Structure 1
Amino acid sequence: MDVETLAKYSKLHAKPPGLSLQYGTAGFRTKAENLDHIMFRMGLLAVLRSKQKKATIGVMVTASHNPEEDNGVKLIDPLGEMLAPAWEEHATCLANAEEKELLPILNAICQKEAVDLQNDAFIVIGRDTRPSSKKLSQSVTDGVSVLGGQYQDYGLVTTPQLHYMVCCRNTHGGYGTATVEGYYQKLSKAFVELTKQATSQRDGHICLKIDCANGIGALKLKEMERYLLAGLAVRLENDGTKGKLNHNCGADFVKVHQKPPVGLEMKPNERCCSFDGDADRIVYYYTDATGQFHLLDGDKIATLISTFLKELLDKAGQTLTFAVIQTAYANGSSTSYLKETMKVPVHCAKTGVKHLHHKAQEFDIGVYFEANGHGTVLFSKAAEDKIRHQAKEEKDNLKREAAKMLENTIDLINQTVGDAISDMLVIEAILALKNLTIPQWDAMYTDLPNRQLKVKVADRRVINTTDAERRAVTPPGLQEKIDELTKQFRLARAFVRPSGTEDVVRVYAEADTQKNADKLAHQVSLAVHQLAGGVGE
């Protein structure tokens, strides 16, 4: 480690005094002007991780669905997965170190994680379309260079595309070709193959309107259109030519406000979807003949995809373990539909993509989506091998066809992370193959009315939960109170959980009517305020 060079560059990327940030599920996020030192230090950390794993590591500069003036960064582990928890702690420690502590902390990480500094390091870097992203990604490259790492800067890419690149490089092309063209070719080939049988029923006039949140998704969809051989008619709205990133648009806006984004004209029953700013989340929606808005969120997407996969597995005669992973926020109706109607096992994990991803890896096929529209499908190596073998060798025509469709679905899904482009293509393929309109998809089950509220508290740590965050253990008496309140309403459930980032408690309630869901949420919020040290009104 060249101590002089490190000291010199560290001064160029000095830490603002008193600033303290924590690496969470989404990495670091804050106002862009406070991130220069973080980016430099994450460049350093990426090199140590790469040397330790003897593998390519990714660094993505993005703040996803946050406002345009924010930015952030996250590291991507060798198979395109999120950074290991122990290294999240190293990231936090390194980010908050004062100048004089930087070298001792780097040395301590090397010692604790047995990092051989003689090993090579290779880092891939990507960024979203925020005005601050280019300069911040240059700070990352400074950090990489100081520790002698090699790097490739992919420039403007979606977050899922960078996850894909990392996985391709570390599987030596086994997962795909580590270029943006390779990504387009893999997905579009699988989409065209999968939808071949559907061409006869497809109505050529169906056009999908996509709200791109004025983000990177618009640029990448424009590049990809020519690969899809007119297999899908799309119209891009909020494409970044005039609006601000994530401002009154995007998946998060639509999900939270339960209304269409600004800048999107909707005709009745017209199919529309929204990406978020870095294109790793997607939600669908439409308005009916009466003008009523209908949202098809991550629960509806998981149900559509898992129903399709289960039918194909049954047709192929494959006996693979299969499950849908949800969080406590999943609508109760989706859980009942999957368990009772579709006979699909459902498991609940703690909130946060990394918990869902981890749980999904326990099955041959694991489908997971957060209600916010972030999710994917994971296939175990054994399941993938079985399906590919059957698609080639199966003598029974019907079984072979089903296996081929499963194989194309595997290739169409970005298994490294939730990917709005990939998920959209999977959904469009299923709707085409099943000849479903968006209202027909929506009618698979009816969501229970629900309400989410936030309660400010003095210290969020007074709340501890169990049972995948569905029950409160502390403070004493709170869970009993929630149980008592829930009993007063039909089809009701409620839970509370502390926020991961601020001193607020999140309250979720659902019941048979919107009025009752609102009432239950309000009463549970009052109980939290009273028993968990509420602040203000």
Structure 2
Amino acid sequence: MHIYYSDLAAFNSICTVSIFVEMDFDAVAKYSVLHAKPSGLTLQYGTAGFRTKAENLDHVMYRMGLLAVLRSKQTKSTIGVMVTASHNPEEDNGVKLVDPLGEMLAPSWEEYATCLTNAEEQEIQTILSDVCQKEAVSLHQDAFIVIGRDTRPSSKKLSQAVIDGVSVLGGQYHDYGLVTTPQLHYMVCCWNTQEHYEKATVEAYYQKLAKAFVELTKQAFSPGDSHRSLKVDCANGIGALKLQEMECHLPRELLIQMYNNGTKGKLNHLCGADFVKVHQKPPQGIEVKPNERCCSFDGDADRIVYFYNDAAGHFHLLDGDKIATLISTFLKELLSKVGQTLTMAVVQTAYANGSSTRYLEETMKVPVHCVKTGVKHLHQKAQEFDIGVYFEANGHGTVLFSKAAVEKIRHLAKEEKDNQKREAAKMLENTIDLINQTVGDAISDLLVIEAILALKGFTVHHWDAMYTDLPNRQLKIKVADRRVIDTADAERRVVAPPGLQEKIDGLVKKYKLSRAFVRPSGTEDVVRVYAEADTQENADTLAH
């Protein structure tokens, strides 16, 4: 028998009823009341998920628990939910969902997340129903969610709201408790792929990274060597706890001294990668002696920047551009020893210092690609190459290796007859194992950097001297409506309002080695200004 519906709304309502016979919407509604939305609050899911004051997030967490279950059923995979707000002040918090391979949530599901978060109580049923229909979600499919949180006082309670959302839709979950954001991304990938990944435990993560580090550096560290000392500013965040757990797995030759470890100061307050990058000075709570190697994590340990003071007491920052250059130079050298023609590129944003781009392209002969600001754009572009190195200037980044490249390198490390080529392939293999390819990871990146510096016999000064950054200045200008400005060419050129780009071009011509751009912020009503030039005075004048 065929039934023809002339009224689509009637058909949809029948679908909705059949979905919620299985979904038990009464329970969803009952718990929604316990996690009520503050009136008038509107939030947008961005690159870093949702972020706002912790007291406004209870309903968001509950609803992201619901959405994570639907995403898990749709992908037939484990999905992650991370409760954190990274480099934000302690009173803020946030949440983001992690897709099956440890990557960021798919764009269409970001829209569902925004829609569900901003819905009134009575609209939740319809929105969940719509997602099920559009995405062909089978409610008979099992769902499994892994949850992690940072050290903010609000994180535990907000994690419980996520668990409520997962449980009410019958999802199973594993709560990892306190983990760095990159560790949760890694765990999600472990649950969904056994390929070259160990068990989905934090201990297995430490063991894998430590084994790769020891293997990679065995030629650099000899018994009886003096310690390679490194001071680490942990931003009073989760990185301190996790680096401490990692430390016992590392060789004695690498001596890590932790500062801002959360025992006294507030999270991200006058410390952390963002503070050091923006203010161009050492964090509070750490004494920096001349030419001492120091680094800073951000609050959830997915960013890292290095810094030092020279003999004259001048501060030097080694940010994401310097890190990308060090790593890509090392990889290029190994590739040439192995004699493989694998494609390799560095992916940057418009914020990358012009000197780093010139050094990579002209000196190292490594192709550089520029994309829009935001980690998801860098990650996506890096996937197009056998080896894709990406770092934002703020210190968030990693290296991606294609499946074909990994197989080729592992085969050479085992089968290559030429000793020199085989050793270079083994070093590449250990580098692959040392890198968290799911997302930027401060602990993993720290070990990669320390290994390269030890193998090259570089001091922090040697590394810094690879090229000299052009002086630059960043400003943010409060505006009534940031959407008035529209950009193209990876945000380096303004296309609206008319005439603005011509004015910028006219100013840029007045200064040597200069460039400048403006772009609307992705999260707040400000316009960001970037300028660089031959001197700091000129960069400042151009920016203003």
TM range (shorter): over 0.9
User: What is the distance in 1 between the residues matched to 2:291 and 2:223?
Assistant: 18
- Work out whether 1:503 is the aligned partner of 2:525: yes
Partner of 1:83: 105
- Work out whether 1:175 is the aligned partner of 2:174: no
User: What is the distance in 2 between the residues matched to 1:356 and 1:379?
Assistant: 14
Q: Give CA deviations for 1:31-79 in whole Å, capped at 9, x if unaligned.
A: 0011000000000000000000000000000000000011000000000
Percent identity, please.
82
**1:118 aligned counterpart, secondary structure:** coil
Q: 1:121 aligns with which of 143, 146, 154?
A: 143
Partner of 2:383: 361
Partner of 1:274: 296
Q: Give CA deviations for 1:380-402 in whole Å, capped at 9, x if unaligned.
A: 00000000000000000000000
Against the structure 1 CA distance between its residues 98 and 47, is the aligned structure 2 distance closer, same or farther, given a 3 Å change threshold?
A: same
Partner of 1:525: none
Trace 1:470-489 onto structure 2 (pairs within 5 A).
470-489=492-511
> Contact between 1:378 and 1:415, CA under 8 Å: does it hold in 2?
yes
Partner of 1:326: 348
**2:347 aligned counterpart, secondary structure:** strand
What letter matches 1:335 in structure 2?
Answer: T
User: What is the distance in 1 between the residues matched to 2:417 and 2:369?
Assistant: 35
Partner of 1:143: 165
Partner of 1:34: 56
Q: Give CA deviations for 1:314-349 in whole Å, capped at 9, x if unaligned.
A: 000011000000000000000000000000000001
Q: 2:120 aligns with which of 93, 98, 101?
A: 98
User: What is the distance in 1 between the residues matched to 2:217 and 2:224?
Assistant: 10
CA drift of 1:81 comes to 0.2
Partner of 2:15: none
Trace 1:194-233 onto structure 2 (pairs within 5 A).
194-200=216-222, 204-233=226-255
- Work out whether 1:379 is the aligned partner of 2:401: yes
Q: 2:425 aligns with which of 396, 400, 403?
A: 403
What letter matches 2:101 in structure 1?
Answer: L
What stretches of structure 1 of length at least 5 have no aligned partner? 523-537
What letter matches 2:259 in structure 1?
Answer: E
CA drift of 1:3 comes to 1.3
- Work out whether 1:343 is the aligned partner of 2:361: no
**2:80 aligned counterpart, secondary structure:** strand
Against the structure 1 CA distance between its residues 419 and 202, is the aligned structure 2 distance closer, same or farther, given a 3 Å change threshold?
A: farther
Segment of structure 1 superposing worse, 165-174 or 234-243: 165-174
Q: Give CA deviations for 1:102-127 in whole Å, capped at 9, x if unaligned.
A: 01000001111111111000000000
Against the structure 1 CA distance between its residues 173 and 362, is the aligned structure 2 distance closer, same or farther, given a 3 Å change threshold?
A: closer
User: What is the distance in 2 between the residues matched to 1:206 and 1:366?
Assistant: 29
User: What is the distance in 1 between the residues matched to 2:480 and 2:260?
Assistant: 39
**1:30 aligned counterpart, secondary structure:** strand
CA drift of 1:4 comes to 1.2
Trace 1:127-166 onto structure 2 (pairs within 5 A).
127-166=149-188
- Work out whether 1:465 is the aligned partner of 2:487: yes
User: What is the distance in 2 between the residues matched to 1:101 and 1:112?
Assistant: 17
- Work out whether 1:413 is the aligned partner of 2:435: yes
What TM-score does the superposition give when structure 1 sets the normalisation length? 0.96
CA drift of 1:231 comes to 4.2
> Contact between 2:89 and 2:269, CA under 8 Å: does it hold in 1?
yes
CA drift of 1:203 comes to 5.3
* Moved segments of 4+, more than 6 Å: none
- Work out whether 1:240 is the aligned partner of 2:247: no
What letter matches 1:103 in structure 2?
Answer: Q
> Contact between 1:365 and 1:378, CA under 8 Å: does it hold in 2?
yes
**1:207 aligned counterpart, secondary structure:** strand
What letter matches 1:220 in structure 2?
Answer: K
Partner of 1:532: none
User: What is the distance in 2 between the residues matched to 1:33 and 1:459?
Assistant: 26
Trace 1:4-19 onto structure 2 (pairs within 5 A).
4-19=26-41
User: What is the distance in 1 between the residues matched to 2:75 and 2:228?
Assistant: 47
What letter matches 1:19 in structure 2?
Answer: L
User: What is the distance in 2 between the residues matched to 1:226 and 1:8?
Assistant: 47
What letter matches 1:265 in structure 2?
Answer: E
- Work out whether 1:255 is the aligned partner of 2:295: no
User: What is the distance in 2 between the residues matched to 1:174 and 1:201?
Assistant: 30
Q: 2:461 aligns with which of 435, 439, 455?
A: 439
> Contact between 2:227 and 2:253, CA under 8 Å: does it hold in 1?
no
> Contact between 1:58 and 1:76, CA under 8 Å: does it hold in 2?
yes
User: What is the distance in 2 between the residues matched to 1:173 and 1:482?
Assistant: 50
CA drift of 1:230 comes to 1.7
User: What is the distance in 2 between the residues matched to 1:285 and 1:431?
Assistant: 14
**1:318 aligned counterpart, secondary structure:** coil
> Contact between 1:61 and 1:72, CA under 8 Å: does it hold in 2?
yes
User: What is the distance in 1 between the residues matched to 2:222 and 2:126?
Assistant: 66
> Contact between 1:76 and 1:166, CA under 8 Å: does it hold in 2?
yes
Against the structure 1 CA distance between its residues 201 and 307, is the aligned structure 2 distance closer, same or farther, given a 3 Å change threshold?
A: farther
User: What is the distance in 2 between the residues matched to 1:463 and 1:337?
Assistant: 31
**2:400 aligned counterpart, secondary structure:** strand
- Work out whether 1:57 is the aligned partner of 2:79: yes
Q: 1:67 aligns with which of 69, 73, 89?
A: 89
User: What is the distance in 2 between the residues matched to 1:16 and 1:493?
Assistant: 44
Against the structure 1 CA distance between its residues 2 and 199, is the aligned structure 2 distance closer, same or farther, given a 3 Å change threshold?
A: same
What letter matches 2:216 in structure 1?
Answer: L
Partner of 2:20: none
**1:227 aligned counterpart, secondary structure:** coil
What letter matches 2:379 in structure 1?
Answer: H
Partner of 1:527: none
> Contact between 1:192 and 1:231, CA under 8 Å: does it hold in 2?
no
> Contact between 2:72 and 2:144, CA under 8 Å: does it hold in 1?
yes
User: What is the distance in 2 between the residues matched to 1:222 and 1:458?
Assistant: 45
**1:233 aligned counterpart, secondary structure:** strand
CA drift of 1:173 comes to 5.7
**1:33 aligned counterpart, secondary structure:** helix
Trace 1:296-335 onto structure 2 (pairs within 5 A).
296-335=318-357
User: What is the distance in 2 between the residues matched to 1:377 and 1:354?
Assistant: 13
CA drift of 1:456 comes to 2.0
Q: How many residues align?
A: 522
User: What is the distance in 2 between the residues matched to 1:206 and 1:189?
Assistant: 18
CA drift of 1:504 comes to 1.2
- Work out whether 1:394 is the aligned partner of 2:416: yes
> Contact between 2:235 and 2:273, CA under 8 Å: does it hold in 1?
yes
> Contact between 1:325 and 1:356, CA under 8 Å: does it hold in 2?
yes
> Contact between 2:225 and 2:253, CA under 8 Å: does it hold in 1?
no
What TM-score does the superposition give when structure 2 sets the normalisation length? 0.95
CA drift of 1:177 comes to 1.7
What letter matches 1:407 in structure 2?
Answer: E
What letter matches 1:269 in structure 2?
Answer: N
What letter matches 2:492 in structure 1?
Answer: R
Against the structure 1 CA distance between its residues 46 and 231, is the aligned structure 2 distance closer, same or farther, given a 3 Å change threshold?
A: farther
User: What is the distance in 1 between the residues matched to 2:198 and 2:437?
Assistant: 12
CA drift of 1:6 comes to 0.7
What letter matches 2:290 in structure 1?
Answer: P
User: What is the distance in 2 between the residues matched to 1:414 and 1:296?
Assistant: 21
Q: Give CA deviations for 1:160-209 in whole Å, capped at 9, x if unaligned.
A: 00000000110036422200001000000000000001014995233100
Segment of structure 1 superposing worse, 423-432 or 197-206: 197-206
User: What is the distance in 2 between the residues matched to 1:4 and 1:337?
Assistant: 61
